[in-house]
């Protein structure tokens, strides 16, 4: 068996390990542990009782359903973006490339009020939509727009380096063997991008499920209709109902871990199927 | 021979290209650039004078000072953690390394609101630790330490994630050579390791800082949003917006948007100039 720790001539073992483990515990592990401990005291039955209310179910269902749709949109658009940014040369390419990172850099509260200003009935896009009777802000459409915004960079940024690595010989071989360009893209290129795209998809999904700042302004926050799960936690906290807040928090934590696990399994499967990636 | 008659088999037709570029540009313009422009349009709706005046209000000023203070404390702490964790993970061999990396990445998959909730449950007046600290005059929640902890939680992986791949790639040979030649541990770090990782460190700190100054969900939960005391820029934006003080809200938002733009420019410069010294495989 491998020893717990190999002896190494490198200095600084005690110091770097000490700082790492102390800060990790203090900032991340103890707080998450406190949440789980609260849940353990409350018991599975207690958690279930809190979660099993119409308002909580509909908030959880809303958060996960819209996050899934937003992540699927970003999966497709992200691959398209990555392809265009890596393969084509055109004026303004660098600007577009930098713009992809904007949702990471722009604080969520800023994005939230700005999207609301754009999509409200008197906003630039909202007024256009209103002409055909389409209400975006303060409906589930508004939440979807906000979730697409925050998740936009993930797929593009995970897929871009993979496209850069694809060797042209593979595409040439495919073309030489008589495949049309569309055929090559579908059967040769896209399968190579799949694992990275799924990673980006999982990250976008996890981000969207927990998103709060960019959503609450545009959502309207009507219980059972446009109330997201993170907002429900805040409402419980403001009523000093820590047990319910913890129960919803644990439910969200468990569901997002479960989703990440499923996505990881899909990735393992797709890597094995394609073999070489 | 013109482009139209000769086209390599590994390229799309010019028409397909144009359509794809058009889709990408239009999508980004609507989804990402329009919200950025809207921030400035709304801030300047009644002129630059009104916008600047709203910034001189004492609550706005207090929020700016608080946010700068929070970032000045939490970002260096996270940088120290990131360097220590990267050193520990890349310079030594031990069991459970992958698990440790997963734990460090954990905050990225936790909702900021849940992060704030965790801190309230650990250090709030209802908990054992919290009650003791409050009893001794050191409140954490609804005070500055809580905001710092919440900020550190959500930005925790940034620096470490950037440094670990870079330091794995660089290996240990240079440090080992310096040690053999008789340099002490700190000297090796300052003269050999740090120059090798400085751009990656700067890159991580840049992203960490942008997130630290803009964090909303986690801070909203732990800060109590006390005006002039524990309200940061993002939480003040929310309060102003909900009081229909649109110009003041969007002006503060424009300050943060400018910070985001500066961050993006610096980040792009780093990627252009020092691409070889950054972690190439993940760029977010």
Nearest residue of chain B to residue A26 (CA atoms): B149
For A91, A178, B80, B189, the CA distances from A10, given in Å and listed in that order, are 49, 56, 19, 11
For A12, B3, B81, B82, B188, the CA distances from B86, given in Å and listed in that order, are 12, 50, 8, 6, 15
Q: Please answer whether residues A110 and B250 qualify as being in contact, where contact means their C-beta atoms are separated by less than 8 angstroms.
A: no
Report if residue B283 sits inside a domain: no
User: Is the CB of B263 inside 8 Å of chain A's CB atoms?
Assistant: yes
Which among A228, A246, A224 is positioned nearest to A142, based on CA atoms? A228
For residues B196 and B81, state if they share a domain: yes
Report if residue B204 sits inside a domain: yes
In this predicted structure, what is the pLDDT of residue A169?
85
In chain A, where are the structural domains located? 45-274
Note down pLDDT in tens along chain B; length 284 residues.
445 556 677 778 889 899 999 999 999 999 999 999 999 999 999 999 989 988 888 889 999 999 999 999 999 999 999 999 999 999 999 999 988 998 998 898 899 999 999 999 999 888 888 889 988 988 899 999 999 999 999 999 999 999 999 999 988 999 999 999 999 999 999 999 999 999 999 999 999 999 999 999 999 999 988 888 899 999 999 999 999 999 999 999 999 999 999 999 999 899 888 888 887 544 44
For residues B21 and B126, state if they share a domain: no
Q: Between A24, A157, A257, which is nearest B104 by CB?
A: A24
User: Is the CB of A254 inside 8 Å of chain B's CB atoms?
Assistant: no
Q: Please answer whether residues B258 and A110 qualify as being in contact, where contact means their C-beta atoms are separated by less than 8 angstroms.
A: no
In this predicted structure, what is the pLDDT of residue A275?
55
Phi first, then psi: give them for residue B182, nearest 5 degrees.
100, 5
pLDDT at A277 over 50: no
The residue whose two tokens read 């992203």 is B207
Query: Tell me: the pLDDT tens digits for B203-244?
Result: 999 999 999 999 999 999 999 888 888 999 999 999 999 999
Which among A259, A260, A238, A237 is positioned nearest to A249, based on CA atoms? A237
Which among A162, A252, A259 is positioned nearest to A201, based on CA atoms? A259
Which among A159, A267, A208 is positioned nearest to B283, based on CA atoms? A159
In this predicted structure, what is the pLDDT of residue A2?
59
Q: Please answer whether residues B198 and B117 qualify as being in contact, where contact means their C-beta atoms are separated by less than 8 angstroms.
A: no
- Residue B283's DSSP bridge partners are none
Query: Tell me: the pLDDT tens digits for A13-30?
Result: 999 999 999 999 999 999
- Residue B94's DSSP bridge partners are A5
* Spatial distance between the Cα atoms of B164 and B143, rounded to a whole number of angstroms: 33
User: Is the CB of B11 inside 8 Å of chain A's CB atoms?
Assistant: yes
* Spatial distance between the Cα atoms of B94 and B27, rounded to a whole number of angstroms: 46
Report if residue B282 sits inside a domain: no
Q: Quote ipTM for the complex.
A: 0.90
Query: Tell me: the pLDDT tens digits for A62-119?
Result: 999 999 999 999 999 999 999 999 999 999 998 999 999 999 999 999 999 999 999 9
User: Is the CB of A173 inside 8 Å of chain B's CB atoms?
Assistant: no
Number of compact structural domains in chain B: 2
Q: Between A9, A107, A148, which is nearest B31 by CB?
A: A148
Between the two ends of chain B, the Cα-to-Cα distance in Å is 43
Residues 3-62 of A with CB under 8 A from B: 3-6, 8-13, 15-17, 19-20, 23-24, 27-32, 34-35, 38
* Spatial distance between the Cα atoms of A83 and A81, rounded to a whole number of angstroms: 5
Query: Tell me: the pLDDT tens digits for A203-230?
Result: 899 899 999 999 999 998 889 999 999 9
pTM for the model: 0.91
Between 3.40.50.150, 3.40.50.1220, 1.25.60.10, 1.10.3720.10, what CATH number should domain A45-274 receive?
A: 1.10.3720.10
Nearest residue of chain B to residue A207 (CA atoms): B109
Report if residue B244 sits inside a domain: yes
DSSP string, A38-68: HHHHHHHHHHHHHHSSHHHHHHHHHHHHHHH
Domain carrying residue B15: 1-43
* Spatial distance between the Cα atoms of A76 and A53, rounded to a whole number of angstroms: 35
């Amino acid at each position: 068996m491998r020893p717990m720790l190999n002896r190494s001539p490198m200095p600084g073992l005690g110091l770097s390990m000490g700082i790492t483990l102390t800060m990790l515990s203090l900032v991340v592990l103890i707080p998450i542990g406190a949440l789980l401990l609260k849940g353990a005291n409350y018991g599975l039955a207690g958690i279930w009782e809190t979660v099993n209310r119409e308002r909580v179910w509909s908030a959880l269902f809303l958060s996960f359903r819209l996050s899934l749709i937003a992540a699927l949109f970003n999966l497709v658009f992200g691959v398209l973006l990555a392809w265009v940014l890596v393969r084509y040369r055109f004026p303004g390419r660098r600007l577009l490339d930098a713009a992809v990172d904007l949702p990471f850099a722009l604080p969520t509260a800023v994005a939230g009020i700005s999207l609301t200003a754009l999509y409200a009935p008197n906003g630039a896009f909202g007024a256009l939509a209103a002409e055909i009777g389409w209400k975006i802000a303060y409906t589930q459409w508004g939440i979807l727009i906000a979730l697409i915004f925050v998740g936009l960079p993930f797929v593009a940024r995970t897929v871009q380096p993979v496209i850069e690595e694809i060797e042209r010989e593979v595409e040439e071989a495919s073309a030489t063997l008589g495949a049309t360009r569309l055929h090559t893209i579908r059967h040769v290129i896209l399968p190579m991008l799949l694992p990275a795209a799924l990673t980006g998809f999982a990250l976008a999904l996890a981000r969207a499920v927990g998103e709060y700042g960019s959503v609450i302004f545009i959502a309207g926050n009507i219980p059972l209709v446009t109330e997201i799960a993170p907002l429900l936690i805040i409402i419980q906290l403001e009523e000093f109902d820590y047990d319910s807040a913890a129960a919803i928090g644990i439910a969200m934590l468990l569901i997002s871990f479960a989703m990440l696990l499923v996505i990881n399994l899909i990735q393992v499967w797709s890597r094995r199927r394609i073999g070489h990636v | 021979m013109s482009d139209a008659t000769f086209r390599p088999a590994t390229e799309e037709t010019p028409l397909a290209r144009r359509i794809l570029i058009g889709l990408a540009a239009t999508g980004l313009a609507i989804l990402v650039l329009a919200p950025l422009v809207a921030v400035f349009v709304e801030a300047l709706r009644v002129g630059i004078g009104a916008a600047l005046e709203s910034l001189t209000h004492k609550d706005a000023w207090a929020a700016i000072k608080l946010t700068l203070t929070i970032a000045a404390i939490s970002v260096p702490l996270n940088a120290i953690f990131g360097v220590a964790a990267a050193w520990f993970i890349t310079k030594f061999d031990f069991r459970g390394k992958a698990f440790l990396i997963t734990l460090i990445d954990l905050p990225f998959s936790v909702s900021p609101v849940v992060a704030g909730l965790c801190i309230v449950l650990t250090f709030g007046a209802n908990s054992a630790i919290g009650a003791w600290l409050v009893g001794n005059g050191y409140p954490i929640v609804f005070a500055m330490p809580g905001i710092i902890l919440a900020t550190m939680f959500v930005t925790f992986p940034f620096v470490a994630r950037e440094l670990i791949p870079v330091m794995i790639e660089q290996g240990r040979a240079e440090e080992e050579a310096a040690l053999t030649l008789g340099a002490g541990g700190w000297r090796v770090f300052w003269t050999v390791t740090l120059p090798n990782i400085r751009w990656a460190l700067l890159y991580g700190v840049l992203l960490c800082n942008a997130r630290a100054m803009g964090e909303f969900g986690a801070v909203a939960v732990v800060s109590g949003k006390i005006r002039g005391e524990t309200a940061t820029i993002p939480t003040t934006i929310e309060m102003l917006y909900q009081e229909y003080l649109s110009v003041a809200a969007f002006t503060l938002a424009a300050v943060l948007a400018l910070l985001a733009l500066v961050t993006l420019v610096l980040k792009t410069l780093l990627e252009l100039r020092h691409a070889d010294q950054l972690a190439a495989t993940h760029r977010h």
